[in-house]
Amino acid sequence: MKNRPFAAIPTALMTCTLLLMVSGASASGYGPKEVPTMPMAQGGEGGGAITLLSPKQGETLMGGSGVVLRYEVTLGPNGNHLHVYVDDQNPIITHDVTRCPCKVPLPDLTPGKHTVAVKEATSSHTLTGIETSVSFTVQ
């Protein structure tokens, strides 16, 4: 390893500067200030959100045909469209993301419990981590 006599100077300067700032703030009577935080995003990529409007969690629907998923969406920075999964089947791809409240007709559902998951995807269909789901029963 080469001898680098000045390598520790940036770290030492930052430490001294930080100590002076803290002690100066306390000595001047102002004390430490609260650092503002950014609002937390509702999704994995920062900023996107999906809100399911219907069916509602735990709702019981009469008949399994004509069920429509209604939702609000704000795409994250990398979002392009949504994948809608009904009971882990192949996804329904929807680009209906700008005229919300939005809707997607679901395939005919058999009687019993069902779960619909809505996941944001990029233009190359990579999931972004922004997702939500709802479970309901069809009689």
Number of C-beta neighbours around residue 50 at 10 A: 24
Note the pLDDT of residue 12: 42
The structural domains of the chain, ordered by start, are 49-138 (2.60.40.10)
Helix ranges restricted to H, the chain: 9-27
Note the pLDDT of residue 43: 53
Residue 110 contacts residue 132 (beta carbons within 8 Å): no
**Residue closest to 117 by CA, chosen among 129, 99, 94, 135:** 135
Give pLDDT tens digits for 59-81: 999 988 999 999 999 999 999 99
> What CA–CA distance (Å, rounded) separates 42 from 48?
6
Structure tokens at 67: 């069920």
More confident residue, 34 or 84: 84
